[in-house]
Chains A and B, each alone.
Chain A
Amino acid sequence: MSQVAAVAAPVAAMGRFVLFLLQEMGRLAIFFLRGLIHIFYFPFQFYKIAEQVYFIGMKSVFVICLTGAFTGMVLGLQGYYTLVKFGSEGMLGPAVGLTLIRELGPVLAAIMVTARAGSAMAAEIGIMRISEQIDALDTMNINPVRFLFSPRLAGALISLPLLTAIFDVVGIFGGYLTGSLMLGISPGIYFSHMVDAVVMTDINGGFIKSVVFAAVVATITCYQGYYTHIRAEGFGAKGVGLATTSAVVFASVMILITDYVITSFLL
């Protein structure tokens, strides 16, 4: 009997984990759908959405420019020394442009937004949860998901594609800085080859990714904050800390997973 129990225990544990995972995914999906639907409910929350566009978008511009510039610069360096071995340094422009527009731009911009705005959203909503502010909204007959999550979701959906575009442009100029100004590739070759190689499908793919990542980042970070109180491992300030950490880690991992899934569909 004890041998059977010993064999069954890991299976049972795995079963519990799978059930927990399914429950969490279901709750996450419902949370996202409720937030999405409430964006379009009357009265529209224009002012709150504008505030979130400012917070998520405008306030992230500096960090996006900084990371975009250095990402482009390092791509220029690495690309040049790789391509020069094959005598194809003229293809540096397309290499930098396509890498940024297809992959690194959307992914890194989303990760930067997760780190800067996503963590703040998780912590803010988490604190509101533990200090009963969300319960207060409920007692006032104000839908907390509509009030807290919908504007943030809309703000992220508007901001992240724009931030991705900024990241791409700054990154391309970063590559130009190292490739052309430092290592001597002709600027004309750098840009003309890039224009030839990059097609609208690449830009659309990057745009689709950034929209999906925006939904992933906003949903996961807000969800973690919103359900801080049901975490088994911690309550109060500790719970908020753990929720923020999980929000950043989970959102970052999900960005990479969804990136792979979308890429496999797009290619």
Chain B
Amino acid sequence: MSEPLIRFENIHKRFGTNEVLTGVNLSIYPGEITTVIGKSGGGKSVLLKHIVGLMEQDEGRVLIEGKPLREMTRSERRAMKRRFSYMFQGNALFDSMTVYDNVALPLKEKIAMPKKEIPKKVAKKMEQLDLHDIHNKYPSQLSGGMQKRVALARALVTDPEIILFDEPTTGLDPVRKNAVHSMISDYQQQFGFTGVIVSHEIPEVFYISQRIGMLDEGRIIFEGKPEEIQSSTDPAVQRFVQAFESRHDQLTGMAPQSQGEKRFREEMARMDRYQNVFSLILLTMESIDGKRKRNHEAHQTALKEFALRIRNHLRVTDICSRYGMNKLMIILPNANQEQAREVCAKLADKLQTTRGADALFGSEGCFRVTAGIAEASKDRPIEQVLAAAEEARNPFYEFRVC
């Protein structure tokens, strides 16, 4: 593993007699999305503000590329800040400026960019974030979701190396929430920035993060990969995840990923005991015309509608869950691979024949769903079965829903 880009060492922070951070240790690695999860009012935002010097710790050290922030000279700090962008919880858009001026401000004031280039760069970023015809509007004239996107555009317009997101999905409905997560994930893959997210949106943040830090009682009680947190046997971690994770994924109405994995393990146990077979279908939704990059909301709406239709056509005994940003996993108990293939074919047929798909999905984009089928076998963990299903994605089962 590479050296941490940002490292918190034994950070303590007090507000009067209230000690919010009581010895935080956490590493953030370059090119990854690290999410800090924790209860509301637990000090997540306070921790984030320490990175850019908006707050100063009472004890401990914040190291940026191994250099303590406090020991940096003014010019070093300025140079460091140039590499960061910060997306605030309440967006912090300048309400007396238009949307265009908000997005252009960091370029006008911070970057030595030719004046002619600024409108082009702003227009491009706004186009990428699906912000059309709102250049001259003021933030108060926009919806909450739109304001989030403007804040994201402002954070991305300088092409920063590190972006800090303070609860970027607060107050958004499930479609917009997933759209923002999908946007962050896509842009991170596209531009390779290092992202630090503060959130309590479990399990959604697990789909887009490479690392998770769990803040509880002012300390990091878990640091690792999302899959590690879900399989953690630490009772405190388990209690925490269970308390925050909803029984149903808010977007799809299906079980969340952890529930799907739990059901997989139960079926494996049943297989061991009764020699039952079972199979797994992995449905992956993709954009055909590349519009997903521009219209994340449409993509999430389509995924929501698609999940609803899948649920309506499955057997009562079938188990379906969300598995990542754009994947759905269906477990078919008592079905071998051949039977699963038949179920999938019928499913594809029903989805194609019921009403005009594009009208039903109500999306601007053109989406394709591929299906991969794999049969579970003893001593084959879920990852291997999913990998087999991923490899077996068959074009025969493509559903064009546009």
Binding site for B on A (CB under 8 A): 124, 127-128, 131-133, 135-136, 138-142, 147
Top 7 nearest A-B pairs (CB, nearest first) are A136-B92, A139-B86, A132-B92, A141-B81, A142-B109, A140-B106, A132-B88
Given A132-B88, A132-B92, A133-B94, residue A141 in contact with residue B78 (CB < 8 A): yes
Is B5's CB within 8 Å of the partner chain A? no
Complex-state Cα separation, A135 to B90, whole angstroms: 12
B94's nearest neighbour on chain A, judged by CB, is: A133
Is B110's CB within 8 Å of the partner chain A? yes
Which residues of A lie under 8 Å from residue B110 when comparing CB positions? 140-142
Complex-state Cα separation, A138 to B110, whole angstroms: 11
Which residues of B lie under 8 Å from residue A138 when comparing CB positions? 52-54
Is B82's CB within 8 Å of the partner chain A? yes
Complex-state Cα separation, A147 to B106, whole angstroms: 12
Which residues of A lie under 8 Å from residue B85 when comparing CB positions? 139-140
Residues of B73-90 at the interface with A, using a CB-CB cut-off of 8 Å, are 78, 81-82, 84-86, 88-90
In the bound complex, do residue A131 and residue B106 qualify as a contact, i.e. CB atoms below 8 Å apart?
no
In the bound complex, do residue A139 and residue B96 qualify as a contact, i.e. CB atoms below 8 Å apart?
no
- Say what secondary structure dominates the interface of chain B: loop
User: In the complex, given contacts A131-B90, A132-B90, A141-B82, what are 19 additional A-B residue pairs having Cβ atoms less than 8 angstroms apart?
Assistant: A124-B96, A127-B95, A131-B95, A132-B89, A132-B92, A133-B92, A133-B95, A135-B54, A135-B88, A138-B53, A138-B54, A139-B52, A139-B85, A140-B85, A140-B105, A141-B110, A142-B106, A142-B109, A142-B110
Name which of A127, A140, A142 has the most chain B CB atoms within 10 A of its CB: A140
Name 10 A/B residue pairs within 8 A (Cβ), A-sorted. A133-B93, A135-B49, A135-B54, A135-B92, A136-B86, A136-B92, A139-B52, A139-B54, A140-B109, A141-B81
Which residues of B lie under 8 Å from residue A139 when comparing CB positions? 52, 54, 81, 84-86
- Say what secondary structure dominates the interface of chain A: helix
Binding site for A on B (CB under 8 A): 49, 52-54, 78, 81-82, 84-86, 88-90, 92-96, 105-106, 109-110
In the bound complex, do residue B105 and residue A131 qualify as a contact, i.e. CB atoms below 8 Å apart?
no
Which residues of A lie under 8 Å from residue B90 when comparing CB positions? 131-132
Shortest Cβ distance from residue A44 to the other chain B in the assembled complex, whole angstroms? 13
Complex-state Cα separation, A138 to B94, whole angstroms: 13
Shortest Cβ distance from residue A260 to the other chain B in the assembled complex, whole angstroms? 37
Which residues of A lie under 8 Å from residue B95 when comparing CB positions? 127, 131, 133
Which residues of A lie under 8 Å from residue B106 when comparing CB positions? 140, 142
Which residues of A lie under 8 Å from residue B89 when comparing CB positions? 132
Which residues of A lie under 8 Å from residue B96 when comparing CB positions? 124
Complex-state Cα separation, A131 to B97, whole angstroms: 14
Which residues of B lie under 8 Å from residue A142 when comparing CB positions? 105-106, 109-110
Which residues of B lie under 8 Å from residue A128 when comparing CB positions? 94
Shortest Cβ distance from residue B18 to the other chain A in the assembled complex, whole angstroms? 15
B52's nearest neighbour on chain A, judged by CB, is: A139
Shortest Cβ distance from residue A150 to the other chain B in the assembled complex, whole angstroms? 13
Shortest Cβ distance from residue B64 to the other chain A in the assembled complex, whole angstroms? 14
A124's nearest neighbour on chain B, judged by CB, is: B96
Given A124-B96, A141-B81, A141-B82, residue A136 in contact with residue B88 (CB < 8 A): yes
Complex-state Cα separation, A168 to B95, whole angstroms: 37
Complex-state Cα separation, A133 to B94, whole angstroms: 6
Shortest Cβ distance from residue A194 to the other chain B in the assembled complex, whole angstroms? 44
Which residues of B lie under 8 Å from residue A133 when comparing CB positions? 92-95
Which residues of B lie under 8 Å from residue A136 when comparing CB positions? 86, 88, 92, 94
Shortest Cβ distance from residue A34 to the other chain B in the assembled complex, whole angstroms? 14
Complex-state Cα separation, A147 to B97, whole angstroms: 14
Which residues of B lie under 8 Å from residue A132 when comparing CB positions? 88-90, 92
In the bound complex, do residue B88 and residue A147 qualify as a contact, i.e. CB atoms below 8 Å apart?
no
Which residues of A lie under 8 Å from residue B92 when comparing CB positions? 131-133, 135-136
Shortest Cβ distance from residue A138 to the other chain B in the assembled complex, whole angstroms? 6
Shortest Cβ distance from residue B237 to the other chain A in the assembled complex, whole angstroms? 31
Shortest Cβ distance from residue A230 to the other chain B in the assembled complex, whole angstroms? 12
A43's nearest neighbour on chain B, judged by CB, is: B109
Complex-state Cα separation, A128 to B96, whole angstroms: 10
Complex-state Cα separation, A136 to B92, whole angstroms: 6
Which residues of A lie under 8 Å from residue B93 when comparing CB positions? 133
A143's nearest neighbour on chain B, judged by CB, is: B109
Which residues of A lie under 8 Å from residue B88 when comparing CB positions? 132, 135-136
Shortest Cβ distance from residue A127 to the other chain B in the assembled complex, whole angstroms? 8
B54's nearest neighbour on chain A, judged by CB, is: A135
Shortest Cβ distance from residue A186 to the other chain B in the assembled complex, whole angstroms? 53
Name which of B49, B84, B90, B92 has the most chain A CB atoms within 10 A of its CB: B92
Shortest Cβ distance from residue B149 to the other chain A in the assembled complex, whole angstroms? 16
A141's nearest neighbour on chain B, judged by CB, is: B81
Complex-state Cα separation, A127 to B95, whole angstroms: 10
Complex-state Cα separation, A140 to B82, whole angstroms: 7
A139's nearest neighbour on chain B, judged by CB, is: B86
Shortest Cβ distance from residue B32 to the other chain A in the assembled complex, whole angstroms? 21
Complex-state Cα separation, A139 to B88, whole angstroms: 10
Shortest Cβ distance from residue A137 to the other chain B in the assembled complex, whole angstroms? 8
Complex-state Cα separation, A147 to B52, whole angstroms: 19
Which residues of B lie under 8 Å from residue A141 when comparing CB positions? 78, 81-82, 110
B81's nearest neighbour on chain A, judged by CB, is: A141
Shortest Cβ distance from residue A160 to the other chain B in the assembled complex, whole angstroms? 23
Complex-state Cα separation, A123 to B95, whole angstroms: 13
Shortest Cβ distance from residue B98 to the other chain A in the assembled complex, whole angstroms? 14
Which residues of A lie under 8 Å from residue B84 when comparing CB positions? 139
A147's nearest neighbour on chain B, judged by CB, is: B109
B96's nearest neighbour on chain A, judged by CB, is: A124
Complex-state Cα separation, A138 to B51, whole angstroms: 13
Shortest Cβ distance from residue A4 to the other chain B in the assembled complex, whole angstroms? 28
Which residues of A lie under 8 Å from residue B81 when comparing CB positions? 139-141
Shortest Cβ distance from residue B346 to the other chain A in the assembled complex, whole angstroms? 53
Shortest Cβ distance from residue B86 to the other chain A in the assembled complex, whole angstroms? 4
A140's nearest neighbour on chain B, judged by CB, is: B106
